[in-house]
Amino acid sequence: MILDSFRLDGRTALVTGGNRGLGQACARGLAEAGAAVTVLGRRPPSWGADFVACDLATADPAELTAVVDQVRPDILVNNAGVIRRGPAVEVAPEEWDEVLTIDLNADFHLSRAAGRHMLAAGGGKIINVASMLSFQGGLRVPAYAAAKHAVAGLTKALANEWAAHGVNVNAVAPGYMATDNTSALRGDPARSAEILARIPAGRWGTPDDLAGAVVFLASDAARYVHGTILPVDGGWLAR
C-alpha cells in the first residue's frame, strides 16, 4: 500500500526548535506518522516529546556532535532559526554572527554528525528548513537571506555526496507563515497587504501547512528525492 510508505514507525527523529511554530508542527507530524521524536532547544516542548537542552547560539561543534551521538537519529530536521531586521548599513557584527551561527553553522555541524551515523547505517533523512529567501534577497534581512541561500547550497552539496549511500538530504522552503518570525510583517498593515496580494492562495501559511511536506521527505515515499528545495509557499514563487 502506498500509504504505508509514508509511515515512520521504528524511526528516531531529532528536530531543532521543535517547541513552537514551524518546528513544533513538524515534530508533531513526525510523531503522528510513527517516529520517536526528540526536540533540541532551549526550552522543553509542551506536548510531551523527548527533549535535549541546547542553545544553538552558543553550542560548539563538539556539543552538537554529542547531542547527535546521544540521540542517533534516523531523521534530522534542522528547523531552528532567527531573523534580524534592519538596514544593511546598521547590522551589528554580533547580529550577523548570531544569524549565521544558528541558521547555517548549526545545520552543518548537526548534519555532519548525523551523516556519520546515517552513512554507517546505510540510510537516513536530513531535512533542512530553507526559505523564500533561499531564492530571493528580501528586504532588510541581509544575514537571514545569506544564511538561507547557503542552506540551499549546503542541502545540494550534502545530497551530492551522500545520495549514493542511501542518505536523502533535502529542504523545505516555507513561504510567508504566521509565526513569531513574521509577527512584525503581519503587524504592518501596508506590508502585510502587499505580501497577501502576491500569494495566489490568498492567505498566510500556518505551521501545519509545512508538516506534510516534512513527513513526506522523511519517509520512504521520498526515497528517490535528493537535493531538492521544496517550496511550501501558497504559490508565491509562481507569481
* pLDDT tens digits for range 29-44: 999 999 999 999 999 9
C-beta atoms surrounding 100 within 10 Å: 16
145 neighbors 84 (Cβ within 8 angstroms): no
Candidates 160, 78, 67; CA nearest to 127 is 78
**pLDDT by residue (tens digit) across 12-26?**
999 999 999 999 999
Residue 174 located in a structural domain: yes
Q: What is the pLDDT of residue 117?
A: 98
Q: Are strands 12-16 and 167-174 parallel, antiparallel or unpaired?
A: unpaired
pLDDT for the residue 226: 98
* d(C-alpha 115, C-alpha 126), whole Å: 8
In a domain, 38, yes or no: yes
Q: Residue 201 falls within a domain, yes or no?
A: no
Q: Are 14 and 71 contacting, i.e. CB atoms less than 8 angstroms apart?
A: yes
Per the structure, the complete domain to which residue 138 belongs is given by 2-178+207-229
pTM beyond 0.85, yes or no? yes
How does pLDDT run across 180-190, given as a tens digit for each residue?
878 888 999 99
Please report whether residue 236 resides in a domain: no
Q: Is residue 85 part of a domain?
A: yes
Pairwise CA distance, residues 227 & 163, whole Å: 8
How large is the average pLDDT for residues 194-217? 97
The chain-wide mean pLDDT, for the chain, equals 97
Which residues are part of the catalytic machinery? 144
Residue type, 47: W
pLDDT tens, residue by residue, 37-70? 999 999 999 888 999 999 999 999 999 999 999 9
Q: Which residues contact 75 (CB under 8 A, 6 or more apart)?
A: 8, 11, 12, 13, 14, 30, 35, 124, 125, 126, 127, 218
The counts of H helices and E strands in the chain are 8, 7
CATH number at residue 223: 3.40.50.720
Pairing of strands 167-174, 124-129: parallel
Q: Which pLDDT value is given to residue 182?
A: 87
Q: What is the pLDDT of residues 75-101, one digit of tens each?
A: 999 999 999 999 999 999 999 999 999
pLDDT of the residue at 184: 85
Tens-place pLDDT, residues 121-166: 999 999 999 999 999 999 999 999 999 999 999 999 999 999 999 9
**CA pair distance 1, 239, nearest whole angstrom:** 36
What is the total count of domains within the chain?
A: 1
Residue 187 lies in a domain: no
Residues 220-237 have a mean pLDDT of 98
Let me know if residue 48 belongs to a domain: yes
Q: Residue 167 domain-assigned?
A: yes
CB count in 10 Å sphere of residue 179: 19
The predicted pLDDT at position 23 comes to: 96
And the C-alpha cell for 229? 528545495
**Strands of the 167-174 sheet, one edge to the other:** 50-53, 36-41, 12-16, 75-78, 124-129, 167-174, 229-232
